[in-house]
Amino acid sequence: MLYREEISDIISKKLRLSKTDTDLILHNYCMYMQERLYNGKTINVLNICYIVNNDESAYDLRETLAYTATEIANKSNMGSETVLRVLSTLGDMLVSNTDIDISYCLRGLIRVRYIKNDSGFVKPRIRKSNKFTSDDNIRLVTTPFFRRKVGESNAG
């Protein structure tokens, strides 16, 4: 299981940013998303899934990753382009690396792991954080983009 610290290390090496800045961005991203969820909002986690409050629709959400990056940049006192690069790299990492031996955890939001079914296809399993498991008003919806990308990795 890769947690924020390990994910931060991978991204900082890939983008040649300091690990401190990358870790701060990822921490602020998780905190920003949790705050929105606690305020009853539906959130889009890196175009991988929606964490939906029952009184809202996942597909009515119009918040882009660029908007989220700008909000986090304001909290982090960093450039929004740097924040967007870090978040985009994290999203790409979760979508493109479908290794069944690696799981990812964005603490307080989601856990992503890949399993191989009987026919040899890799399927993603995304679970909401344990703190939301008992909350029946919060559900998780995988985005069509993510399902399509994982399907492409199976085909190729």
Q: How does pLDDT run across 95-152, given as a tens digit for each residue? A: 887 777 788 898 888 999 888 888 877 888 888 887 776 677 888 888 888 888 877 7
Classify each residue of 1-14 as buried b or exposed e, where b means 16 or more C-beta atoms within 10 Å of its C-beta. ebebeebbeebbee
Q: Which helix (H) or strand (E) holds 52?
A: strand 49-53
CA 10 to chain CA centroid, Å, is: 15
CA distance 117 to 121: 6
CB 96 within 8 A of CB 34: no
Q: Can you give the pLDDT at residue 62?
A: 75
CB 154 within 8 A of CB 121: yes
Measure CA of the first residue to CA of the last residue in the chain; give whole Å. 25
Per-residue model confidence (pLDDT) at position 106: 87
